[in-house]
Structure 1
Amino acid sequence: MSLSAVHGTLSSLKSCQTDIGTGMDIVTDVALDLAETQGMTPDIQEMEAMILECAKLDREINLFVDVVQQVTSEATTQPPEAMFNLSATVKEQFEERAARLSDAELQNHQKVLAFRDSIKNSLNQANQESAEELDEDIAVTQSQVNFTCPLTQVEMVNPVKNKKCNHHYDEVAIVGLIKARHSQQKKCRCPVVGCGNTDVKESDLMADQILRRKIQSHKRQNNRT
């Protein structure tokens, strides 16, 4: 087994992981459609179970990639014949670490939290809209403000919400800024003017599916007009 082949396999796994994330977003969108039209239903609960299964698979891929990278890194300092035992070593360490994992940890997976937060917000929003009449002009103005990323100053594609300060950014832009700051050994300050959050972390970010759907709806309306 060559290390180049190992790296190729890891690259394929990471691509698969991206597809899993996309699938979880699609399931969340379908669940939101149901929540908006029918309220909480057993189907939504089944979709939440699907999200949890996907989160479990995503976690296992992360664990496997971590084990492989650790084992191959150690193998480079060992005799060449150690390469023949890579597969067995990876399997042994993966099974050992996987046995210590708890399903309770999946409750904190970013996509799981985003699913539950989206459904909760959708149901709350539906209740509020049925209880009071919203001013259309104000609602549109507020939505358009929220559509703009404070970093790129353009309409967001994949908005994420900061759990600490509640500000929104486009995912690619804020993650890029966080990594750039960390490479300089600096903390990432929230780019919203006047915000006191001086340490934005990736773990603080949560996908905002409802806002993403609003942006997509806004785009469709603009295209029709």
Structure 2
Amino acid sequence: MASHGSSVVSSSAVENSLSSLKNCQAYIDTGMDITTVVALDLVQNGCDPTDVDNLESVMLEYAALNRDLNQYISAVEETVRKVKRDPPDEVPDLKSLVDTTYAAKQRKNSDESLKKNDKFLQFKEQLRDLRKQMGVPQDSRDQASDDDEDIAVTQSIANFTCPITQMEMVNPVKNKECGHTYEKEAIEKMIQRRHQQKKNARCPKIGCDVSDMNESHLVPDTALRRAIEVHKKQSQTKQ
């Protein structure tokens, strides 16, 4: 009985340590968010693309830390559950058991899997969207020709217009279901009004098939908002 009691205490101590590990996850998330903001600032200010590439490497390092931390937490949780389910006759070496489980998880890792990290994917998507809105070529980041720049500006101005208000957006949000963007206040009011009428809210973009929108489908379109800000500054400079 005494040995089993000690085992329970040891398991409890390990479980308590999980909260500290999970706090580290929040720090990693914050680091990735800050790195994304800095990268967007660099693109917006026309900095050397190499600097942005370096931040992409930083994001992959964060993704690796996040993956390793998640796997270690998972190894700890699995070990504790196993010990509780089948209590051994002697006090187990929990660290050794956790290390064995963790090592098994690590052997399945690949560098390619890091690029599937949610925040890394968001990082790439926001950079791609911002470059597109600013008329920066996606495949080659060399300076675009004057004709290409004119076309990009014309397309961007069209993209800046809310399909509801027909005015340039200030706080754009994107519909995760179809990718269309709207002014936040306008689309939220439209959805609320339709729901109060017991009706589905259709995407107001002409030709869109999404017929049942909810506010949960909306996410801030950071890249578009930055592109709008750049366009405004450029317009003020030319005046």
Structure-1-length-normalised TM-score: 0.64
Measured in 1, the distance between the counterparts of 2:175 and 2:63 equals: 20
Q: 1:126 is matched with which residue?
A: 134
Q: CA 1:123–1:146 in 2, change beyond 3 Å: closer, same or farther?
A: closer
- 1:55-70 → structure 2 map (5 Å cutoff): 55-70=63-78
Q: How many residues align?
A: 176
Q: CA deviation at 1:35?
A: 0.6
Alignment equivalent of 2:103, drawn from 95, 108, 117 = 95
Q: CA deviation at 1:84?
A: 2.6
- 1:49-60 → structure 2 map (5 Å cutoff): 49-60=57-68
Q: CA deviation at 1:81?
A: 4.7
1:143 counterpart = 2:157:
no
Q: Which amino acid aligns with 2:57?
A: A
Q: Which amino acid aligns with 2:92?
A: F
Q: CA deviation at 1:206?
A: 8.5
Q: Which amino acid aligns with 2:23?
A: S
Q: CA deviation at 1:121?
A: 1.1
Alignment equivalent of 2:50, drawn from 31, 42, 54 = 42
3-state DSSP class of the match of 2:93? helix
1:104 counterpart = 2:130:
no
Q: Which amino acid aligns with 2:129?
A: N
Q: 2:81 is matched with which residue?
A: 73
Measured in 1, the distance between the counterparts of 2:11 and 2:87 equals: 14
Q: Which amino acid aligns with 1:146?
A: P
Q: CA deviation at 1:138?
A: 4.0
Alignment equivalent of 1:33, drawn from 41, 46, 54 = 41
Q: CA 1:37–1:214 in 2, change beyond 3 Å: closer, same or farther?
A: closer
Residue-by-residue CA offset, 1:60-106 (whole Å, 9 max, x unaligned): 11111111111101111223555432110110110121011111111
Measured in 2, the distance between the counterparts of 1:56 and 1:121 equals: 25
Decide whether the 8 Å contact of 1:68 with 1:90 is kept in 2: yes
Measured in 1, the distance between the counterparts of 2:219 and 2:121 equals: 8
Measured in 1, the distance between the counterparts of 2:100 and 2:21 equals: 19
Residue-by-residue CA offset, 1:183-211 (whole Å, 9 max, x unaligned): xxxxxxxxx8233579xxxxx99985426
3-state DSSP class of the match of 1:38? coil
The higher radius of gyration belongs to 2
Q: Structure 1 unaligned runs (5+)?
A: 148-159, 169-191, 199-203, 216-225
The percent identity for this pair of structures is: 29
1:165 counterpart = 2:178:
yes
Decide whether the 8 Å contact of 1:27 with 1:47 is kept in 2: yes
Q: CA 1:96–1:117 in 2, change beyond 3 Å: closer, same or farther?
A: same
Decide whether the 8 Å contact of 1:114 with 1:208 is kept in 2: no
Q: CA 1:2–1:113 in 2, change beyond 3 Å: closer, same or farther?
A: same
3-state DSSP class of the match of 2:92? helix
Greater mean deviation of Cα atoms: 126-135 or 65-74: 126-135
Q: CA deviation at 1:120?
A: 1.2
Q: Which amino acid aligns with 1:35?
A: V
Q: 1:221 is matched with which residue?
A: none
